[in-house]
């Protein structure tokens, strides 16, 4: 396998991760900023990257900045947010063509690097704050992004499950923040937050492509310098098991019901049984050969999709399926039966081998895309581990039936959420 060697260097205020590979026609930069997920900061952190990517001191308007990106052979610049466990992560990605594949051989890597540094460190400021017009329009966009979750029922029901399941925990917060808090943000207090985030966040830069490590290190050291810091750590308190399963039904005008079930796995990335959990999830609901797909979709014809996925840093497993409103009881009971079968070890050695093969395949495929590779490597930053890619795959292969049954015993059903129609049961 081509697992790409990651070279990590501690620079001023951040870590540089370089992955040299000739696979791609482009070079990719990803700048990550990580901080604890909190009610006070989440909305500002959702807005900040949008404001930074819309203009800078040098490119004072969006058309000016975007025109420059177009000139750089359509370099892409985008920002996104993620919740990983109880951390909130801002990402700034820039991908730029490798001039080796262009008829115009003007070097582009340095230009891309300079532009990323400009976006991060040289914002469009007036007085003691960001440019007011920029902040106003990005506040409007952020609000519409928060509201748009309602219109996508698959996402909505997942968000609602987490809100209900993790009530009182930071993880209940939405990645895009709180609509009502958007109004409180001013160009000045956002600028204050910007300075604080660059002083306190744990920051990592990934550079992936046909690059020279020494050259990247030199450029990174020149262009990006911040004060040293000790990253803040979240102390996740132990979650006590619910005495009774939390069952929520919400009515809306929908044709298809959305069934989302949340479990606490009590296992996170870095735990010795984390790889066993991956195999567990693969047999239970991760793939099209899994129990959920076979029993909910293929055998009972109840759904088009029925799957489970893991949240590796918070220790959650979520089941999701879209079903006819009248089939709620049947679907829930089939899913419970599959979990029971997992606890009882009701799977063959062949199924285990098949699942490992598919997980290995999925992992190797993820490593084929620059952003996929970067995200896999970033798990180590969040979990403070140093699991390399080879170890990931060899450890997962060691999982036995007993290991999977042991994992099954640790998993607790927490919340069943159903978005149902106004004519349920008809």
Binding to another protein, residues 78-107 (CB under 8 A): 95-98, 100-103
Q: Is 112 in the site for another protein (CB under 8 A)?
A: no
Q: Is 369 in the site for another protein (CB under 8 A)?
A: yes
CA 241 to chain centroid: 26
Residue number, 166 or 211, with CB nearest to another protein:
211
Chain residues 276-295 in contact with another protein, contact rule CB under 8 A: 287-289
Q: Cβ distance 82 to 91 under 8 Å?
A: yes
> Could you say which of 67, 189, 344, 400 contacts another protein (CB under 8 A)?
67
Q: Is 24 in the site for another protein (CB under 8 A)?
A: yes
Q: Cβ distance 210 to 24 under 8 Å?
A: yes
Q: Is 148 in the site for another protein (CB under 8 A)?
A: yes
Tokens of 161: 């499950």
Minimum distance between the CB of residue 68 and another protein, rounded to whole angstroms?
Answer: 8
How far is the C-alpha of 67 from the C-alpha of 109, rounded, in Å? 18
Q: Is 110 in the site for another protein (CB under 8 A)?
A: no
Instruction: Pick the piece of the chain touching another protein (CB under 8 A) from 146-154, 237-245, 376-384, 407-415.
Output: 146-154
Minimum distance between the CB of residue 209 and another protein, rounded to whole angstroms?
Answer: 10
Which residues pair with residue 316 across a beta bridge?
A: 264, 311
Residue number, 266 or 321, with CB nearest to another protein:
321
Q: Which of 55, 48, 47 is nearest to 77 (CA)?
A: 55
Q: Cβ distance 327 to 259 under 8 Å?
A: no
3 state DSSP class of 355? helix
Q: Is 140 in the site for another protein (CB under 8 A)?
A: yes
Edge-to-edge strand ranges of the sheet holding 412-420: 246-251, 412-420, 256-264, 316-324, 303-311
> Could you say which of 150, 189, 406, 423 contacts another protein (CB under 8 A)?
150
> Could you say which of 121, 256, 330, 388 contacts another protein (CB under 8 A)?
256
Give rounded-to-5 percent helix, strand, coil for the chain: 45, 25, 30
Residue number, 227 or 349, with CB nearest to another protein:
349
Q: Is 255 in the site for another protein (CB under 8 A)?
A: yes
Instruction: Pick the piece of the chain touching another protein (CB under 8 A) from 20-28, 86-94, 170-178, 182-190.
Output: 20-28
Q: Is 20 in the site for another protein (CB under 8 A)?
A: no
Residue number, 12 or 148, with CB nearest to another protein:
148
Q: Cβ distance 246 to 416 under 8 Å?
A: yes
Chain residues 157-216 in contact with another protein, contact rule CB under 8 A: none
Q: Is 362 in the site for another protein (CB under 8 A)?
A: yes
Chain residues 312-341 in contact with another protein, contact rule CB under 8 A: 322-324
DSSP string, 131-151: -HHHHHHHHHHHHHHHHHGGG
Minimum distance between the CB of residue 221 and another protein, rounded to whole angstroms?
Answer: 27
How far is the C-alpha of 33 from the C-alpha of 197, rounded, in Å? 8
Minimum distance between the CB of residue 396 and another protein, rounded to whole angstroms?
Answer: 13
Please state at what angle helix 349-366 crosses helix 401-410, rounded to 10 degrees: 80
Chain residues 34-63 in contact with another protein, contact rule CB under 8 A: 61-63
Instruction: Pick the piece of the chain touching another protein (CB under 8 A) from 120-128, 144-152, 223-231, 333-341.
Output: 144-152
Residue number, 36 or 257, with CB nearest to another protein:
257
How many residues bind another protein, per CB under 8 A? 74
Tokens of 402: 């007993």
Cα–Cα separations (whole angstroms), residue 132 to 96, 137, 228, 290: 30, 9, 30, 52
Burial string for 248-266 (b: 16+ CB within 10 Å, else e) reads eeeeeebebbbbbbbbbbb
């Amino acid at each position: 396998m081509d697992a790409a060697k990651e070279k990590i260097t501690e620079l001023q205020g951040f870590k540089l991760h370089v992955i040299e590979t000739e696979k791609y026609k482009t070079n990719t930069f990803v700048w990550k900023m990580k901080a604890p997920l909190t009610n006070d900061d989440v909305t500002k952190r959702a807005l900040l990257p949008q404001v930074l990517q819309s203009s800078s001191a040098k490119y004072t308007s969006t058309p000016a900045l975007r025109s420059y990106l177009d000139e750089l052979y359509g370099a892409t610049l985008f920002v996104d947010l993620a919740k990983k466990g109880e951390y909130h992560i801002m990402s700034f990605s820039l991908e730029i063509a490798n001039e080796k594949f262009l008829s115009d051989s003007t070097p582009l890597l340095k230009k891309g690097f300079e532009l990323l540094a400009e976006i991060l460190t040289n914002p469009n400021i007036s007085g003691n704050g960001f440019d007011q017009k920029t902040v106003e329009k990005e506040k409007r966009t952020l609000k519409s992004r928060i509201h748009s979750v309602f219109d996508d029922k698959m996402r909505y029901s997942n968000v609602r499950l987490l809100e209900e399941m993790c009530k009182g925990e930071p993880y209940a917060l939405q990645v895009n923040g709180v609509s009502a808090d958007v109004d409180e943000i001013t160009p000045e207090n956002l600028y204050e937050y910007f300075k604080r985030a660059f002083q306190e966040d744990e920051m990592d830069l990934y550079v992936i492509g046909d690059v020279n490590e020494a050259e990247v290190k030199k450029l990174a050291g020149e262009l990006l310098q911040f004060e040293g810091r000790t990253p803040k750590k979240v102390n996740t308190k132990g979650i006590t098991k619910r005495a009774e399963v939390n069952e929520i039904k919400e009515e809306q005008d929908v044709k298809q019901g959305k069934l989302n079930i949340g479990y606490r796995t009590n296992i996170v990335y870095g735990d010795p049984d984390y790889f066993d959990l991956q195999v567990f999830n693969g047999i239970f609901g991760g793939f099209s050969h899994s129990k959920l797909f076979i029993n909910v979709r293929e055998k009972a014809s109840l759904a088009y999709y029925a799957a489970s996925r893991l949240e590796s840093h918070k220790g959650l497993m979520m089941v999701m399926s879209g079903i006819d409103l009248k089939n709620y009881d049947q679907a829930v009971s089939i899913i419970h039966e599959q979990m029971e079968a997992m606890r009882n070890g009701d799977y063959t050695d062949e199924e285990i081998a098949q699942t490992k093969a598919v997980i290995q395949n999925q992992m190797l495929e993820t490593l084929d895309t620059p952003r996929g590779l970067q995200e896999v490597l970033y798990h180590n930053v969040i979990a403070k581990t140093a699991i390399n890619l080879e170890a990931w795959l060899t450890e997962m292969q060691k999982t036995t039936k007993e290991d999977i049954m042991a994992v099954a015993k640790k998993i607790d059903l927490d919340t069943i959420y159903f978005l149902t129609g106004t004519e349920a049961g008809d």
